[in-house]
């Protein structure tokens, strides 16, 4: 048996995505900045993909800029703005539960002259829009609050946060929407964020490509120099195959999102029922939550449980891969008021669209047996 519950970190590309990419791996490989029929076809393919992604989030084609990853998109947003506002404004506002690509970028900028305010969240992982508003100063140039957490799956109140843009029109508003976009709608005609990071792999596209939405009129300095790709805003030879796959994934997501959400919500409820029976608490809000996220705090060692699960073919995690390899305590769980001992029992399961109800029944059976086994081993 092999069951994969690590979809928050890497999803298997949709089969139609793979098929769309193959011609650009085997035949159409010319540099789009050269002059030939092949290069012209490459440019046309990029334009189509850009339009597909813009359509998904209700943006203009010209507002989509391709990058290598969601991490690069978020780094570019904050560092590019810091350079654009250098000598004028120097204050950044972020929430306490941001992904490392925002959280650590803000800390980097703090070490290089910027001031950073980290706004706390409540016990369910939700940041209050009033607290964000109170943190904004005349010197604030950017507010960055994620749409949804890759770790605990909590969805922020996007509508109330975006209304702050009307109160503070001179401040740039950025959101990391990487996990949010797969199962939730983001209409940037209605939601006035200025910069939005999205990633291909998070919507069943290939890894190695992402995009930064940059609203028309937003001033930002390029992070990478050396070529005229992406209108001179992001130098470097584009991966045509990956971009085509990203575009196809966006097209599929546009039509399949609601069906996927309904399917994953049922799967999530199965897991919730299983953990409720085991008296294992769900981390964060159940109501305002991504439909593919099941983060729990078990009263056993999370790493030990994962080892036992892996031996039976179940792949899950203890949370963000950033912590596992950096060997750091989760700043997200800490911000939610969860102590270090409780955090050691963290386990995260993120099912994908290929998981069935029968798969979850099997997984729950194995979870029950192993949790009960580890509980018996605990000292009295």
Could you give the residue numbers annotated as active site?
Answer: 322
As given in the structure block, the two tokens for residue 49 are 């993909």
The partner residues of 48 in beta bridges, in order of sequence, read none
As given in the structure block, the two tokens for residue 347 are 């386990």
What count of Cα atoms within 13 Å lies in the side-chain half-sphere of residue 91?
12
The helix or strand, by DSSP H or E, that contains position 184, with its residue range, turns out to be none
The helix or strand, by DSSP H or E, that contains position 207, with its residue range, turns out to be none
Residue 231 exposed, middle or buried by CB count within 10 Å (0-12, 13-18, 19+): exposed
The helix or strand, by DSSP H or E, that contains position 366, with its residue range, turns out to be helix 357-377
The partner residues of 289 in beta bridges, in order of sequence, read 154
- In DSSP notation, 274-315 reads HHHHTT-PBPS-SSSB-TT-EEEE-SS-HHHHHHHHHHTTEE
Return d(Cα 93, Cα 106) in angstroms, integer: 9
The partner residues of 6 in beta bridges, in order of sequence, read 350
Residue with tokens 């929430």: 95
Return d(Cα 150, Cα 155) in angstroms, integer: 10
As given in the structure block, the two tokens for residue 67 are 């990058």
What count of Cα atoms within 13 Å lies in the side-chain half-sphere of residue 323?
20
């Amino acid at each position: 048996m092999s069951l994969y519950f690590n979809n928050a970190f890497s999803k298997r590309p949709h089969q139609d995505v793979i098929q769309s990419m193959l011609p650009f791996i085997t035949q159409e490989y010319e540099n789009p900045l050269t002059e030939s029929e092949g290069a012209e076809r490459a440019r046309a393919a990029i334009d189509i993909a850009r339009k597909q992604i813009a359509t998904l989030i209700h943006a203009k084609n010209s507002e989509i800029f391709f990058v290598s990853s969601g991490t690069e998109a978020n780094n570019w947003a904050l560092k590019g703005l810091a350079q654009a506002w250098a000598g004028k404004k120097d204050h950044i506002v972020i929430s306490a539960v941001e992904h490392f690509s925002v959280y650590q970028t803000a800390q980097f900028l703090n070490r290089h002259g910027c001031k950073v305010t980290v706004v706390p969240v409540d016990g369910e992982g939700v940041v209050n829009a009033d607290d964000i508003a109170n943190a904004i100063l005349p010197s604030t140039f950017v507010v960055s609050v994620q749409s949804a957490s890759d770790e605990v799956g909590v969805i922020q109140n996007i509508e109330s946060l975006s209304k702050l843009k009307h109160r503070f029109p001179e401040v740039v508003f950025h959101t990391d929407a990487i996990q949010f976009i797969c199962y939730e709608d983001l209409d940037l005609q209605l939601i006035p964020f200025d910069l939005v990071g999205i990633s291909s792999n998070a919507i069943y596209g290939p890894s190695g490509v992402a995009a930064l939405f940059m609203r028309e009129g937003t001033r930002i300095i390029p992070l990478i120099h050396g070529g005229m790709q992406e209108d001179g805003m992001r130098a470097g030879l584009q991966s045509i195959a990956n971009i085509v796959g990203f575009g196809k994934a966006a097209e599929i997501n546009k039509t399949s999102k609601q069906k996927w959400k309904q399917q994953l919500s049922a799967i999530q409820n199965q897991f919730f029922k299983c953990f409720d029976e085991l008296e294992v608490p769900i981390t964060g809000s159940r109501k305002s939550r991504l439909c593919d996220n099941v983060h729990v705090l078990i009263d056993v060692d999370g790493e030990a449980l994962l080892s036992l699960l892996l031996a039976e073919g179940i792949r899950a995690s203890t949370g963000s891969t950033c912590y596992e390899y950096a060997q750091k305590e989760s700043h997200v769980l800490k911000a939610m008021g969860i102590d270090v001992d409780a955090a050691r029992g963290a386990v995260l399961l993120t099912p994908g669209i290929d998981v069935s109800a029968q798969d979850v029944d099997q997984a729950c059976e194995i979870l029950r047996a192993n949790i009960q086994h580890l509980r018996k081993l605990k000292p009295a």
